[in-house]
Amino acid sequence: MTTDGGAVELALDHERHQAVIRIRREEHGNRLTRAMARQFVAHLDAIDADDDIKVAVIEGTGAHLSSGWDPREAWEQYVEAPGGAVKKHPSQRARLVALSDEWWGPNGLYRRLLHCRKVTIAKAVGDCYETGLYLTLCSDLAVAHENARFAVPRWRNVGVDGDLSLLIATVGLKRTKELMYAGTAWDAGTASRYGLVDGVSAAPDEEVGRLAEMCASIMRDGIVTEKYAVFASLAKMGVDHAFAAATVVGASLSNIHFQPGEYNFLADRRRHGTAAALERSRRDLG
Amino acid sequence: MKPKRWGTPESLAAADQQVLYDVDRAGVAYITLNRPEKHNALSVPMRERVAELVAAADADDDVRVLVFRGNGRSFCSGNEINEEWGQRRPHERRRTLDVGYRYGADMAWGRLGFSQAISRSDKVTIAQVHGYCAAAAYFMIACKCDLVVAAADARIGALEARFLGPAGAVASVHINRILGMKAARRTGFTAKPMSGTEAYDLGLVYRCAPVEELPSVTGEIARDIAARPAGALDFLVARLRAAEGLMDTSVPAITGLLVSHFLQAAPDEMDFWRTARRVGVGGALDADKARKGAADPRADRNPAS
Amino acid sequence: MIDVKVADWVGTVQVADFAGLSRYDAAFAWELRDTVVALADDSEVKVIVLRTDGGDFAPDVPGAPLPSDRSATWRRVFAGAKGLYQSLAFCKKVVVTEVTGACRGAGSALVLCSDLTVAAEESSFGSPFLAVPESNFVLAALTMRLNRAKAWAVTGDVLDAARAEEVGLVNQVVPGASLRAETDALAARVTAMPLDGVTMSKMLLQAVLDAHGVGRDFDLATHYAARRRHAENAGGGAL
């Protein structure tokens, strides 16, 4: 499993009742590895268990919140899952287990963030692609830097394999489809107008601080009670169902056959390296 | 046996004058909250009367549109929070599950409560909102109506979350479907109110107007709708109610509600009711506003503009 | 007359206008439905564009006949799972509507069932829910948010193109002169996705939409049509 020195850090400020989860892998655009996702989840566990923390801020060091997951692990994660290395191609159960355990299942990053018992606030800066977009979506509140851009470029390479229920309930159906099919990247103003973020700021630190202080002024009992009401609504709105469906479709899509002439990201990566393939596959975001 | 009418002799006697009802010739019925000295805070008997008046409007073929509005400086500041309403013992307030269920569910937003009488009305419902539209007025009236017409500078939101704790209300499916996921949670976790203009941008409000023009603008919208063929409105409302049922938007998230009657302030947090016993509810509200991190309900800025 | 072209992964369906659907022209509707299903089954197609000759997308049809909930034809062609609207809403390819001029009644039902919509600046959108009982309100609520969809239905408001974009009913508003070029460019962008990716993502979408109540709202179309007929009879005339 690769980390390349990347890490997810946790800082606690008990006096102000705030925690910061900080993604630190600047030289790779804060692209998340599985090891980092697990660190992230461990920090959420710590925050949930800490009675003096009411609010968690999600941020990245450097220019980007997170510009995706680490493509070098796209295949490796299936091979390394239970039942993944029995034959030449990973079993379907290995693919399901990997997608569930790391991303969409009860202890996967996104579902775990969505089910944090404290208020979560994302600071969306620079490229918020794939992982960055879903961290924004799964947080309770989000503030975007003026330079933020939201997209899932990987969907154009393989098809749509992420949650759609939460996305549709947040930004609307046709805009979700724009993100799905048109290779669109939303700038900060568009994301704000669509309801993906609570606001746009040239100085998001200040705005996040102000929101965090407001949330931290609400009683602990109230915050946790409200979060459980949110969980009940998420279940009722089909978000848990959508996460399960995304896992199944994601696993199915890992069996994709390309038509002649269709762009194959993994093949491109094998031939020209990760950086070149990423650059090519993201070049024409709208 | 007849069910008990909950309330004190005073609040029961006052309710008829605190919730007024009239129907104009255009087929528009008005339910007017008339307790201006309390920003139209709703007592239990007032909520019961609202439910009865919605039933009366539903039964009246001449009524096509039902408008909710408030006299005085505000539309409504929510449910009366410091009320004797016939609990078995005064010290109980809402602190037994039996009493909590009756107060929260039967009298407010459960299937038998007044808010669902509004959301299931057979008529087109409009909330005419000015001043404060807070707490129950936000999620049990405004968000239950088909249309909201708001003064541009109205203050709409779960302001009570600040000092009583959020009551699970803003997690409700219908509010998420009206405002989007982020804005719904913003109102609960920051207690920051929306202006009428912001609520328009989010999709809660159908039209904004300067406060002095609000009654005429609302009246015109209501009369235009009432002028549509009766059969068309009858069909459309039935069509919408069915779809709302399918989307499960008419029933709120009940989960947080009963627990919310038992919320406790931690030693380092302000205990609203203890403060209120010392300096009164008004004094406790002032003390709350002075706290660090307080969202000023009068502030005019977006949460992150 | 339905004109069909397939090129570069895009199937383009062109008609004079879609008002025939508001008139409950079953032959036209079934031919359109068959065309959509055939294109969806074509492995050379990733995107289906619904386009008109350039006039109104779907003008108002005053005095259109009442759809009969008792009619087997109406159920098969319009309201049923294999009818036109569900063939579009649950299509396994991406459906793009290109709207010029007036879009009313069944035209707006088509827009709601399509994935992406490009609209000319002078286009405008009336709610379909009164005239077309088989149109899907849940789609409207998911697209525009609940209260905007309710207001669109009960007020009879016609949304201009700019407002339709603001509320999320259309994806792009462009000058009429460049409408076709913009629609073609959008369709071409969609074709960058692998064919398998398009179809699997539509399967995911179908599961999610069904969980939201879209399928259930379609399934109740017969009840809505009956309710509408009841209202019209009770009201003593057309709605």
Residue A224 inside a domain? The answer is yes
pLDDT classification of B96: cutoffs 50, 70, 90: confident
Report ipTM for this prediction: 0.96
Instruction: Give the separation between CA A104 and CA B157, rounded to whole angstroms.
Output: 32
Q: Cβ contact (<8 Å) for C189 and A183?
A: yes
Residue C110 touches partner A, C-beta closer than 8 Å: no
Instruction: Give the separation between CA B20 and CA B30, rounded to whole angstroms.
Output: 8
* Tokens at B171, concatenated: 């997690």
C3-177 under CATH 3.90.226.10, yes or no: yes
Residue B305 inside a domain? The answer is no
| Model confidence at B84: pLDDT above 90 | no
Q: Cβ contact (<8 Å) for A173 and C139?
A: yes
Residue B290 inside a domain? The answer is no
Q: How many CB atoms lie within 10 A of CB C181?
A: 10
| Model confidence at B253: pLDDT above 70 | no
Report the range of poorest mean pLDDT among A165-179, B183-197, B281-295, C19-33: B281-295
In this predicted structure, what is the pLDDT of residue B304?
Answer: 40
Which C residues 17-46 touch A at CB under 8 Å?
43
Cα of C94 vs its chain's centroid, Å: 13
In this predicted structure, what is the pLDDT of residue A229?
Answer: 87
Span A178-201, average pLDDT: 97
Under 8 Å between Cβ of C204 and A246: yes
Name residue C49's beta-bridge partners.
C12, C96
Between residues B13 and B98, which one has the greater pLDDT? B13
In this predicted structure, what is the pLDDT of residue C182?
Answer: 98
The tens digit of pLDDT for each residue in B8-18 reads 999 999 999 99
* Tokens at C201, concatenated: 């993502």
- Cα end-to-end span (Å), chain B: 57
To the nearest whole Å, the CA of B8 is away from the closest chain C CA by 37
Residue B95 inside a domain? The answer is yes
The candidate with the shortest Cα–Cα distance to C82, out of C40, C139, C22, is C40
> What is the residue range of A99's domain?
7-282
Tell how strand A18-24 and strand A55-60 pair up.
parallel
Q: How many domains does chain B have?
A: 1
| Model confidence at B216: pLDDT above 90 | yes
Residue A189 touches partner B, C-beta closer than 8 Å: no
Name which of C145, C153, C156 is nearest B240 (Cβ-Cβ): C153
* Tokens at C164, concatenated: 């339709």
Span C216-234, average pLDDT: 92
The tens digit of pLDDT for each residue in C56-87 reads 999 999 988 877 777 899 999 999 999 999 99
Report the range of poorest mean pLDDT among A119-123, A234-238, B70-74, C38-42: A234-238
Name residue B68's beta-bridge partners.
B31, B127
| Model confidence at A215: pLDDT above 80 | yes
Alpha helix positions (H), chain B: 9-18, 44-58, 97-100, 114-119, 136, 161-164, 173-179, 181-190, 196-202, 214-226, 230-247, 255-260, 272-289
pLDDT classification of B300: cutoffs 50, 70, 90: very low
The candidate with the shortest Cα–Cα distance to A124, out of B46, B109, B182, C44, is B182
C-alpha pair distances (Å), C90 with each of C95, C107, C112, C135, C138: 10, 17, 12, 14, 14
Q: Which residues neighbour B238 within 8 Å (Cβ) at sequence distance 6 or greater? A: B122, C227, C231
Q: Cβ contact (<8 Å) for C194 and A182?
A: no
Residue B50 inside a domain? The answer is yes
Report the range of poorest mean pLDDT among A231-235, B91-95, B234-238, C143-147: B91-95
Residue A2 inside a domain? The answer is no
Instruction: Give the separation between CA C174 and CA B272, rounded to whole angstroms.
Output: 55
* Backbone angle region of B171, left / alpha / beta, with phi > 0 → left and psi within -120 to 50 → alpha: alpha
Tokens 């989000």: give the residue.
Answer: A142
SS3 B299: coil
Nearest C-alpha in A relative to C45: A259
Report the range of poorest mean pLDDT among A22-26, A264-268, C113-117, C120-124: A264-268
Instruction: Give the separation between CA A282 and CA B295, rounded to whole angstroms.
Output: 41
Q: Cβ contact (<8 Å) for A174 and C211?
A: no
In this predicted structure, what is the pLDDT of residue B276?
Answer: 87
Name which of C147, C217, C228 is nearest B235 (Cβ-Cβ): C228
Here the CATH number for the domain that contains residue A267 is 3.90.226.10
| Model confidence at B301: pLDDT above 50 | no
| Model confidence at C148: pLDDT above 60 | yes
Q: Which residues neighbour B37 within 8 Å (Cβ) at sequence distance 6 or greater? A: B72
Residue B163 inside a domain? The answer is yes
| Model confidence at B1: pLDDT above 90 | yes
Residue A1 inside a domain? The answer is no
Between residues C18 and C65, which one has the greater pLDDT? C18
> What is the residue range of B82's domain?
9-268
Here the CATH number for the domain that contains residue B58 is 3.90.226.10
Mean residue pLDDT of chain B comes to: 88
The tens digit of pLDDT for each residue in B129-168 reads 999 999 999 999 999 999 999 999 999 998 888 888 777 6
What is the DSSP-derived secondary structure letter of residue B41?
A: P
pLDDT classification of B294: cutoffs 50, 70, 90: low
Between residues C51 and C230, which one has the greater pLDDT? C51
In this predicted structure, what is the pLDDT of residue B303?
Answer: 40
Q: Cβ contact (<8 Å) for C200 and A249?
A: yes
| Model confidence at B305: pLDDT above 60 | no
Using an 8 Å CB-CB cutoff, list residues of chain B that contact chain C.
Answer: 124, 146-148, 174, 177-180, 202-206, 221, 224-225, 228-240, 242-244, 246-249
Mean residue pLDDT of chain C comes to: 95
Mean residue pLDDT of chain A comes to: 94
Q: How many domains does chain A have?
A: 1
The candidate with the shortest Cα–Cα distance to B178, out of C104, A233, A114, C208, is A233
| Model confidence at C131: pLDDT above 60 | yes
Nearest C-alpha in B relative to C134: B239
Q: Cβ contact (<8 Å) for C194 and A249?
A: no
Look up residue C139 and give its amino acid. L
Report the range of poorest mean pLDDT among A192-201, A209-218, C4-13, C169-178: A209-218
The tens digit of pLDDT for each residue in A58-96 reads 999 999 999 999 988 989 999 999 999 999 999 999 999
Please give the share of chain A, as a percent, with pLDDT higher than 70.
99
In this predicted structure, what is the pLDDT of residue A4?
Answer: 66
Span C98-106, average pLDDT: 98
Residue B130 inside a domain? The answer is yes
